Amino acid sequence: MREEEKIKAGILFCPADPELKAIKLKTHNLNIDYNNTYEDETEKRAAILSEIIGEFGEGGFIQGPVAFHYGKHTKIGKNFFGNFNLTIQDDAEVVIGDDCNFGPNTTIVTPIHPMLPNERREMLTADGEKKHLCYAKPVHIGNDCWLGASVTVCPGVTIGDNCVIGAGSVVTRDIPAGSFAAGVPCKVIREINESDSMKFKPEILCDNIAIED
């Protein structure tokens, strides 16, 4: 079994495998290319992102700088906005829905290392070789989610549609759809409902009008 197949199977794999290292090297170099562009170099940026990300929907914008690990394991829906310093360590699959907004310093991680230090250093493969091994769990984020500044999403987490995750949160468990959640570790605080509409904040709404669904 190839190491990339092991990642998808959720079992231990060797991140130093030559095939995986080649994927990561290409992506890391493309990250630098993207980070060295100007914001208004839209065509150049789009071309680089098309080489980095597995899927990137229409109407998306990523401020940069970015740090994708594999890139090809990430799928992002339509109308995505990623603010400064977006980091996606996508050893395992990362899927982000449509109309999501990520604040600055958002981090998504999928790899997991053994807890015991000797096992982190090395383990024996089935062939009897000593290698550094880890495993990874996918992250899924639904449609219409807003992640505040400096949110970290940990391996294996699913965030449902229409969620708001408070700034600085560390999301270690699944968050059900329609929730406002925050904290370290992140916990559901309450359900988001009609009372959260801007029409109930006239001092902020001013002369604008909230559009009804």
Short-list 155, 139, 125, 154, CA closest to 17: 125
Active site residue 28: no
Q: Determine which one of 28, 69, 73, 113 is catalytic.
A: 113
For 156-177, letters b (16+ CB in 10 Å) and e give: bbbbbbbbbbbebbebeeebeb
Residue 41 structure tokens: 């170099």
The DSSP annotation for 28-76 comes to HHHHHHHHTS-TT-HHHHHHHHHHH-SEE-TT-EE-S-EEESSSTTEEE
Q: What amino acid positions are annotated as catalytic residues?
A: 113
